[in-house]
Structure 1
Amino acid sequence: MGDNKELIFALDIGTRTVVGVIFKQQEDKLIVEESEIVEHERRSMLDGQIHNVSEVTAQVQKLKTRLEEKVDIELDKVAIAAAGRALKTVKGSFELQFKNNKEVTKEDVKTLQFTAVQKAQEELVAKSDKKSAAGYHFVGYSVIQSKLDGMEITDLVGQRGSRIEVEVVATFLPRVVVDSLLTVIRQADLEVEHLTLEPIAASNLLIPQQMHDFNLALIDIGAGTSDIAVTREGTIIGYDMVPVAGDEITEVICDKYMLDYHSAEEIKRGLADKEKFMIKDILDQDVELPAQEVLEEIEPKAEELANLIGERIIELNQKQPQAVICFGGGSLAPLLKDKLAQSLELPSNRVGIKNKQDSNQIEGEIEGVTITQGITPLGIGLSTYLNQNQANFLDVTVNDDLIHLFTLTEPKVSDALLAAEIDFKELEPNLGLALTVEVNDEIKVIPGEPGTAGEVRLNGEEVGIDAGISNGDEIEVEFGEQGQTGEGTIADVVPRLESKEIIANGEKIELKPQYYLDDELVTLDTPLHDRAEITYQEILTVGEAIEEIWDIKLVNLKERIIEYEVNGNRRKKRYSNYYVELNGNQVSLDTEIQSEDELFFEQLDQNADEKLTVDEALEGVDIASSLEIVMNNRPLEIPDAGFELLKNGTETTLDAEVNSGDEITYQPGEMTIKDVLDYINYKLSDDDLEKVEIKKNGVSAQLHNKVADGDQINVFLSTLSQ
C-alpha cells in the first residue's frame, strides 16, 4: 500500500451511521478523494454516546477496510469529533478584593476568570455522580459580565478599583465520552490525529470569515436530538441539546396514518415538493394522502420542537441571536424553519438551512448523503487541516503529579492547573478577613492584611497562567501566604478624646472620657474582636457633667419656661427643680462645658409642672378695678367702669392659666370729678355750677379733671341742690 502522509482521514461516528472521508491536501485546500458510509446494525450509539464499544469498533473497522481498498493506502491515523450534546455548560462567578485601589493587571483578570471557571467546575461536580473534576475535560469559557467596584465594565485590564468580579459560562466534556471514542479508535488499529467537537467542526465549515463577528446559533438537527451551539465573535460561547428532533415529526405521521417508519420518513421528505402521496399502510391498504393534510397534522409537533429549541437558544445567549443556521438531516423537516423563526421572533430570512458548504478550502462532496448530513465529517477534515500543528493530547506534570491533558485549543498553563484542580485564587495575594465592629451604632471595618502572591514555574522559569505548554513540560506551583485577619485596639476606632478639669461647687473635678466594649469598661489599648460593640462617652455639656459628678439622671431634672406678653411687652417665667450656673451665669443643661469652667448646681424643692395664672403673669403691674378716694372727708370706693383684662383678645380672670405664646392685655379705666359726682348722684344745675367750688387734694379743680386712687375731693356750694 502507498504513503498516507498527505491524506487526512476524518471519521464521523453518528447515532445511525458511521461516515468516513479521505481528504488529500493540495496547496491551500482539501480534496475529497473517497468516502464511505456504514450503518450501525444495532443501537450501539445513543444520543452521541457509545454504548457498545465492540459493535461500534466493528463498524469502524469495516469502513476503514473499505476505504483502504479504495485508496490502496493503509490508514493509521484518524480525526474524530465528540458529540456536542454530551457537553455540559455551567455558570460560575468569583470576585477578588484588593486592600486598596490598584490598577488591575492582565494576570489579575486571568486569575479571576479561571477561578470562576473552577467554581463552575465545582458546581458541575456537585450536581453529577462524578467524585472529582477529573471526570471532565475543560473545553472553554466565555465571560458573561465583568464588574469593577460593583459597576459593569467591558474590559477590566488597566482599570483602578478595590474589587473585581466576573461571571462566566464554562463548558466541560465528560471524560467517559472521550475515553470511549479513544477505545474504539485504538481497537480499530488507529491513532487519533485530531479530536474536536461536532459544533466546532460544523462552525469551521458553515461560518465564513466575514461572519465571525456575528452572534449566531448553529443547530444540528438529527433524528433523535437537536444539538445547539451559540457563537459570538468567532468563538462558541455555549452548547446545549434538546432530546427531540426529526423523528418526532416522523412518528406523528406513523401514528396518524398507521405507516411503518420508512414510509412515514419518505412522506416527510417529500412534503416540500409533492401535492399527494400513494402509499400502503401497515394493513397493506392503499392510501392516498394529500400533502396539505399531512402538513396540518405535523404542524403542532413542528411548533413544539421549534419552541423547545428556541427556549434553549435564549437561555444560552441571554437574548435573540442575529441569525440561526440549521443543518443535519432533521433540519429538512417541513415547517420547522418557519416555526423556529416565529419562536425566536426573527424574520424568516434570518433562519436558514445549509444545503451547501461555504468554505472554499474543501472541494468535493460525500456520496450517499445530503450536504446537511455531510457537514460534520467535512468539518472534521477541515478542523484537522487548520490545526495540524496543535496537539489534542499531552502529558505534563504539575507539582510532580502526571496530568493527562486534552485540549481543543492551544494548551496553556491554565489548562494544566484546571486539570490538576489547583485553586487559582491561592495564586493571588489574598486579603485577610476584615475585622468588623460597631462604634456608637456606626459600623467600622479594619481591613485584613494582604498575603503574598503565588508563583508558577514552567520548566524552572516563572510564567503567567496564559503561557503555552508542550508535551512533557514540568509545572511547579508555589502558593502564596494567606493574608492576616484585621487587628486593632479601642484607640483605632474611637476619636481622640481629652479629659476636662473644672470647678464644681467649689471642688476641683477631672471629667474623663469612658470607653465600653460589650458593656464592660475598658481602656484604649484593649484589643478588639470581630462583631464587638463599642460605646464611648465624652463630657461635653453641663448636663453630662451633672450626671457624672452628682450621679443624677438628666431625665429627673425638669425645667419649664413659659413665654408670654403683657400689653405687648415680652415676659418669661421659669419653673425648675434645679438651679445651675456656669461661670456665674445661669445656663441651660445643653450648654457646652470647657476645662477650667466653674460650675454651680443645686436641686430645688419646686414643682416644674406648677401653673402660671394671669395674676402672677401681671406681677409688677398695678391692677385696680376700682378707685378709693375721700369725698368731702368721707371714704368712697367707686368701680372703674373703663377697666379691661383680656387673654388672647378674650375677657379673662386673674386666676386663669397662662401658657407659652399667650398675650395678656390690661387697660385701667379713666374717671373724672364729674364721674364721681354722677356715681354719688350729685346733681348740679346750671345755677349751681356758678356757685360751686371744687378742690382736689386742696387745690382748686374743675369737673373734667381726672381722679386717681387716694385723691381727696371736696365740693362746696352756698346752696346745694339735689
Structure 2
Amino acid sequence: MNQKNDNIFALDIGTRTIVGAILERDEDQQLNLKASQVIEHQNRSMLDGQIHNVMEVAEQVKKIKKNLEEECATTLNKVGIAAAGRALKTVKSSHQIDFKSKKEIKQEDIRMLEFGAVQNAQQELASHENQNTANGYHFVGYTVLESNLDGIKVESLLGQSGKGIEVEVIATFLPRIVVDSLLTVIREAELEVEHLTLEPIAASQLVVPKQMYNFNLALIDIGAGTSDIAITEDGSIIGYAMVPVAGDEITEAICENYMVDYHHAEKIKRQLQTEDAVTMTNILDQEEEIPSSNVIDKIEATVDELARLIGEEIINLNGSQPQAVMCIGGGSLTPLLEEKLAENLDLPQARIGVKDIENIDRVTGEIEELAGSQAVTPFGIAVSCYENMNRANFLDVEVNGDRVHLFTLTEPRVADALLAAEIDLKALKAEPGMALSVEVNGELKMIRGTMGEKGRILLNGEEVDIETTITQGDQLVVELGEQGKAATGEIRDVVPELPTREVTINGTAVEIEPIYYMNGKKVGAETELEDRAEVTYDILQTVGEIIEEILELPTSKIRTKTITYTLNGEEKQYQRQNYQIVLNGEDVDLRAEVDEGDELVIEENEAELLTIADVIEQQDIDNDLEIIFNGRKIEVPNLNQKLLKNGQTATKDDLVGSGDEIEYKAGGIRLNQLLNHINYDISNISAGKLKVKKNGEEINFTEQLIDGDEVELYIENSAQDQREEVKKEINKTDSLVQLKRKLNQKINN
C-alpha cells in the first residue's frame, strides 16, 4: 500500500533522538497526529546536530519507518525533513545601483538590486571560509533588512522615483555536507525527500505566527548538542545563530557530580522538574536518593554558563536585547534556565517563556515520549511540508551546458539556478562603457561611454526573466550583456568655442588662435583626451602673451634699463628698453591688449648706453649762441662751456651711470673766436682805427660774449664808404658761416 496523499511523514533527526510522526489532514486543513515513534541513538552517531555515522543513523530511520508503516498499515515513500539550524551561515550584505538620471523604480530593478546583494554575500562567505568559491554552500534564502532611495530609508522601493537605490539583506547559506548527509540517510532508508526545511524555520512557523513577526523576538531551540537561535523583526526572520552548548552540558554536569553514566544522567535531568527527589545508581552500583534541589544546586553554574552564552549570541545577532524570548526543545525544560536567561538579557522573567505544543492550534495530538516543547520541531516540519507540498526544493537543471543541483526552500526560479551556477546577475544588464573624465580649467567634464546590449536568459529555448519558475531537467542558456565601448574625445569636445583674431606682426599677417594644454603639455584642439587629465585653455590677449607664444621670445628677455642721475643738481631718470614695441604707431608695454586688425611692430634696440651728449640733448640744452653783429643776428657755437662729471672735467662722449652727477654751464665765446668763426679778416681793413663795442660799451678782442650780446665793429673817423665796406665784409663772412653750418649738419646727420 502506498502512502496516502493526505498523510504527511515528518522526520526530526536530532543529536540524541530521532522523532518520526505521521500526520493526517482533515477537512479544516488541520493536521492531526496519527502515529509517532521516538528512538534514541545507541551510540553517539551525531554530534552537535551533524551526522557523523551515516549508516547508523540510516538504520534508526529504517526502524522508525518500519514501525510506523506497520502501525498505520501504509507504505511510506516520501518524507519531510529539516536541517539543523546550527549549520546555517548568515551574512549581511548590501548592494547599490545608480541610474544615469532620475527614474521610476520597477520590479525588475528591485530584483536585480536584491540578487546583487545576495551575490555580494556569497563572495563574502567564500572569502571568510578561505575558499575560492561558495560551492560548499547552498543559498537557502534572504531577508531584506533595509531599503534606501537616494540615501533615504523607505518601506518599499516599488513605484518610487530616484537616481540611486540600495538594499541591505541577510542571506542564509547551508553547508552542502549537511544536506548531502541527510539525503544519504533518507536514500539508505529507501525514502524520497518530499520537502526539506530548516529547523528554526520549521519551529518558528508554529510558535511565531506571521502576525507576531513585527515584534523583535528571539526563538531558542535548545536541543541536546546545540542551541539554535532565530530572530524576528519588522515582519521577517532577520537572522539565525547557533551556540554549541545545550542539554548535553547539563547532563554531563550530573555525570561528573554524581558519577553516573550518560543515559542515567539524562533520566535524572528530566525528573528534576517533576520530582522532589531522584534515585540514582553510580558507577560503583551504589544507590542513593537525593533531593532534586541538591542536584539543581550542583548544575546551577552550568545552567548559568549556558544562559550566558545564549544571551551573548542573541545580543550579538540582534544588536540589542529582544522584546521577548521563546524557548522550545528538550533543553528548554532545564531547571533555572528561564531565570538565568532573564538575568543575562536584563529582561523581566515574564518575557522568557517555554512554548508548548498544547498552545498551538494548527496541530493536534501528543507524542507520548516527548515533552510538549520537544514536539514543536517535528510538528513544524510537518506543517512546512504541508504548506510547500507542491514546491520541489531539490532539482537538477542545466545552465550553459553544466549540471547544477539546486536546493530551495521556496518555489525554484531562474534566479536560484543562476546563483547556484555563480553567474553574475549584474552581467545581464546593458553596462555602459567606461566614461572619460577630465578637468577643464578647474571644472569637471565627462564624456560617457556607449551603452552596451542587455543580456538574455533562454529557458528551454524561450526568453524568460530571473523570476520565471523552473522544474526538474530544465535547460538554461545565459547570454551575458555586452559591455559598451569606452568613451573617447578630443580637446575640442570639452572646451568652449573660442575666437581667433588676425593681426599684423612686423608686416606679416598672423592668425592668433587659442592655446591648449593637457597635463602641462601644449597640445592642439584635435589632440585625443586622456582620462583624468587636467586641461587648460587660454586666449592670447596682451602683447606679452603674443610675444611669448607666437614669437617664442620669453618676456623675461625684454628688459627696461633705468639710470638715475643729476644734471645741474636736479635728479633725472633715463629709461631705455632693449626692444621697442609699437602697437598701431604708439609705444606700448607688455600689458597692452591686442585686437582684431591691429598692427604690432617689435624691434630690437641696438644700444642701451647713455652718454653726456644724450643727457644734454635730452634736456634741450642749447649749445649755440645768438649774437647781434653790426645789426645782424648770427648763430655761433658756445665754445667755452663747463662740463663736469662727479666734479671732474668730462667730454660729451663720456658714459653716464646711476648716481652720476653731471654739471654743465655755457661759457660763451670771445670776440676773436667769433671773428675767426665767421672768417672775418680784419687785415683787409686798410685805414682808420678799428673799434669794437659790446652792448654799447667799447671792449677789446678777448672780451667774452654771451647769448644775446650786441657787437659793433667799425673804423673810427672813417668815411661812410669805409663803414659800408665793413658791412659787405660781414655779410660776405656771414654767408660763409651759414654754408659751413649747413654742411656740418649734413655730415652729423
TM-score normalised by structure 1 residue count:
0.72
Q: Tell whether the 8 Å contact from 1:99 to 1:450 is kept in structure 2 after alignment.
A: no
Change (3 A) 1:529 1:289: farther
Q: Tell whether the 8 Å contact from 2:3 to 2:76 is kept in structure 1 after alignment.
A: no
Report what 2:528 is aligned to.
527
Structure 1 window deviating more from structure 2 (422-431 vs 593-602): it is 593-602
* 1:38, distance to aligned residue in structure 2 (A): 0.8
In 1, the alpha carbon distance for the partners of 2:257 and 2:593 equals 96
* 1:377, distance to aligned residue in structure 2 (A): 0.8
* 1:93, distance to aligned residue in structure 2 (A): 3.4
* 1:524, distance to aligned residue in structure 2 (A): 1.3
**SS in structure 2 opposite 1:73?**
coil
Superposition RMSD on alpha carbons, in Å? Answer: 3.9
* 1:319, distance to aligned residue in structure 2 (A): 4.5
**SS in structure 2 opposite 1:484?**
coil
Alignment of 1:104-503 (within 5 A): 104-128=105-129, 132-232=133-233, 235-255=236-256, 260-261=261-262, 265=266, 269=270, 298-440=299-441, 442-501=443-502
1:591-627 Cα shifts (integer Å, max 9, x gaps): 8765456789999999xxxxxxxxxxxxxxxxxxxxx
**SS in structure 2 opposite 1:408?**
coil
Alignment of 1:30-69 (within 5 A): 30-69=31-70
In 1, the alpha carbon distance for the partners of 2:588 and 2:316 equals 72
Structure 1 window deviating more from structure 2 (514-523 vs 222-231): it is 514-523
Q: Tell whether the 8 Å contact from 2:232 to 2:239 is kept in structure 1 after alignment.
A: yes
The one of the two structures with greater contact order (alpha-carbon pairs below 8 A, sep at least 6) is: 1
* 1:404, distance to aligned residue in structure 2 (A): 3.2
1:62-112 Cα shifts (integer Å, max 9, x gaps): 111222222222222221111111222223333334344433321122122
Report what 2:15 is aligned to.
15
* 1:59, distance to aligned residue in structure 2 (A): 0.7
1:150-202 Cα shifts (integer Å, max 9, x gaps): 55444333344444333322112222222221221122122222221111211
Change (3 A) 1:576 1:81: farther
Q: Tell whether the 8 Å contact from 2:126 to 2:134 is kept in structure 1 after alignment.
A: yes
Q: Tell whether the 8 Å contact from 1:326 to 1:353 is kept in structure 2 after alignment.
A: yes
Matched AA of 1:216: L
In 2, the alpha carbon distance for the partners of 1:536 and 1:218 equals 68
Q: Tell whether the 8 Å contact from 2:356 to 2:376 is kept in structure 1 after alignment.
A: no
1:500-551 Cα shifts (integer Å, max 9, x gaps): 4457799866443222234433211221233434333333556645654674
* 1:362, distance to aligned residue in structure 2 (A): 1.0
Report what 1:637 is aligned to.
none
**SS in structure 2 opposite 1:390?**
coil
* 1:264, distance to aligned residue in structure 2 (A): 5.3
Q: Tell whether the 8 Å contact from 2:231 to 2:239 is kept in structure 1 after alignment.
A: yes
In 1, the alpha carbon distance for the partners of 2:374 and 2:68 equals 19
Change (3 A) 1:109 1:275: same
Q: Tell whether the 8 Å contact from 2:307 to 2:344 is kept in structure 1 after alignment.
A: yes
**SS in structure 2 opposite 1:448?**
coil
Q: Tell whether the 8 Å contact from 1:451 to 1:482 is kept in structure 2 after alignment.
A: yes
Q: Tell whether the 8 Å contact from 2:145 to 2:238 is kept in structure 1 after alignment.
A: no
In 1, the alpha carbon distance for the partners of 2:316 and 2:590 equals 67
Report what 2:662 is aligned to.
none
Structure 1 window deviating more from structure 2 (513-522 vs 157-166): it is 157-166
**SS in structure 2 opposite 1:64?**
helix
Alignment of 1:66-81 (within 5 A): 66-81=67-82
Matched AA of 2:139: F
**SS in structure 1 opposite 2:385?**
helix
Matched AA of 1:329: G
Report what 2:25 is aligned to.
25
Q: Tell whether the 8 Å contact from 2:49 to 2:225 is kept in structure 1 after alignment.
A: no
Structure 1 window deviating more from structure 2 (69-78 vs 580-589): it is 580-589
**Structure 1: segments with no counterpart, 5+ residues:** 560-573, 607-722
Q: Tell whether the 8 Å contact from 1:433 to 1:484 is kept in structure 2 after alignment.
A: yes
**SS in structure 2 opposite 1:110?**
helix
Q: Tell whether the 8 Å contact from 1:12 to 1:18 is kept in structure 2 after alignment.
A: yes
* Correspondence 1:96 to 2:97: yes
Matched AA of 1:332: L
Matched AA of 1:195: L
**SS in structure 2 opposite 1:22?**
strand
Change (3 A) 1:222 1:105: same
In 2, the alpha carbon distance for the partners of 1:576 and 1:270 equals 118
Matched AA of 1:25: R
Q: Tell whether the 8 Å contact from 1:327 to 1:373 is kept in structure 2 after alignment.
A: yes
In 2, the alpha carbon distance for the partners of 1:390 and 1:124 equals 27
Structure 1 window deviating more from structure 2 (128-137 vs 59-68): it is 128-137
**Structure 2: segments with no counterpart, 5+ residues:** 562-572, 609-749
Q: Tell whether the 8 Å contact from 2:3 to 2:77 is kept in structure 1 after alignment.
A: no
Change (3 A) 1:275 1:39: closer
Matched AA of 1:136: Y
**SS in structure 2 opposite 1:321?**
coil
Change (3 A) 1:523 1:307: farther
* 1:455, distance to aligned residue in structure 2 (A): 1.9
Matched AA of 1:220: D
Matched AA of 1:197: L
Q: Tell whether the 8 Å contact from 1:92 to 1:117 is kept in structure 2 after alignment.
A: yes
Q: Tell whether the 8 Å contact from 1:99 to 1:447 is kept in structure 2 after alignment.
A: no
Count of residues paired in the alignment: 594
Alignment of 1:590-605 (within 5 A): 594-595=595-596
* 1:15, distance to aligned residue in structure 2 (A): 0.9
TM-score normalised by structure 2 residue count:
0.70
1:108-127 Cα shifts (integer Å, max 9, x gaps): 22122212212222333344
* 1:385, distance to aligned residue in structure 2 (A): 1.9
**SS in structure 2 opposite 1:365?**
coil
In 2, the alpha carbon distance for the partners of 1:558 and 1:64 equals 112
| Percent identity (aligned) | 55
Change (3 A) 1:474 1:594: same
* 1:341, distance to aligned residue in structure 2 (A): 3.5
In 1, the alpha carbon distance for the partners of 2:508 and 2:426 equals 64
Matched AA of 2:9: F
* 1:426, distance to aligned residue in structure 2 (A): 1.5
* 1:553, distance to aligned residue in structure 2 (A): 5.2
**SS in structure 2 opposite 1:74?**
coil
In 1, the alpha carbon distance for the partners of 2:288 and 2:556 equals 104
1:459-491 Cα shifts (integer Å, max 9, x gaps): 444332112233344433222211211211112
Q: Tell whether the 8 Å contact from 1:517 to 1:532 is kept in structure 2 after alignment.
A: yes
In 1, the alpha carbon distance for the partners of 2:254 and 2:428 equals 60
Change (3 A) 1:547 1:149: farther
* 1:424, distance to aligned residue in structure 2 (A): 0.6
In 2, the alpha carbon distance for the partners of 1:454 and 1:483 equals 12
Q: Tell whether the 8 Å contact from 1:228 to 1:239 is kept in structure 2 after alignment.
A: yes
